[in-house]
Amino acid sequence: MVEKSEVISYTESELNSRHIGRSVVSKSDYGWDIKVRAYRDVGVYLAYRKFRDSLKILFLDWKNYVDEGLVNRVSVLVMDTFLIRRSRGEKVSVPQPVHKSSLVEVKNTVDGLLTMADFGDAVFGDPSPGEIIQWIHNNILIRDIDPKTAPSPGAYAQLKWVQESKENKADFYKTTFTKTIPAKSQIENLSKKNDDNREHFSLLDELSGEVQDDTE
């Protein structure tokens, strides 16, 4: 897209000196006017504006307001990368506005939304609370869990929530996971029964059954 009758061609070094490829992303940043002038000189300013505007539908916060800071960073990153690659002689195309249909698809992916088909037979799963807790515990450090391996869609959703932050993980271990730990009275009862020379494994089986009943 040509915006001037004569478009200037800058080397990578000249682009860098005009803040291309640097973290200058908005009017409040020092050197923004120099970067914008460079965009105009090389003939991409209008393309940059159109690309930036097309991202607004994607970067909405939970109040449905546009995250202008994120839009600025992404649009500048994409355009600067294009200019630097072009200055190196690579055959690259000017970034184009993203179509709404593509943005909706990407947004769904960002939000973690899945279809019923993604879960396969797991969509019909009906695990007990104890089974869900144990599955989350076993997979809490695993990246990219296949939804089809989850006990149910709800269990998968809980795992993803736990993995979102250290705070959520700590909350899981402090509250939910403690439900699988036998109460002090149960442990004392186990000790008394063991003194009566009953089989150790049968006592564990009985205690396991009691814990499962408590979680349902």
Nearest Cα neighbor of 66 from 54, 78, 50 is: 54
Tell me whether residue 5 is in a domain.
Answer: no
What percent of the chain is modeled with pLDDT above 90? 33
Cα 151 to the chain's mean position, in Å? 22
- Return the percent helix, strand and coil in the chain, to nearest 5: 65, 0, 35
Q: What is the pLDDT of residues 17-74, one digit of tens each?
A: 999 999 999 999 999 999 999 999 999 999 999 999 988 877 777 677 888 899 999 9
Residues 106 and 19 in one domain: yes
| 18 and 79 inside one domain | yes
Residue-level pLDDT at 10: 94
Q: Residue 151 is part of which domain span? A: 117-215
* Integer Cα distance of 79 and 36 in angstroms: 11
Residue with tokens 């159109």: 50
The answer to whether the pTM exceeds 0.85 is no
Do 103 and 159 have their domain in common? no
Q: What is the pLDDT along the chain (216 residues), one digit of tens a residue?
A: 444 457 889 999 999 999 999 999 999 999 999 999 999 999 999 999 999 998 887 777 767 788 889 999 999 999 999 999 999 999 999 999 876 554 454 445 445 567 777 778 877 778 888 888 889 889 999 888 888 899 888 888 888 888 888 888 888 888 887 766 665 555 556 555 555 545 444 544 554 454 444 444
Q: Are 207 and 126 in the same domain?
A: yes
In a domain, residue 6? The reply is no
Number of domains in the chain: 2
| 8-state DSSP, 199 | -
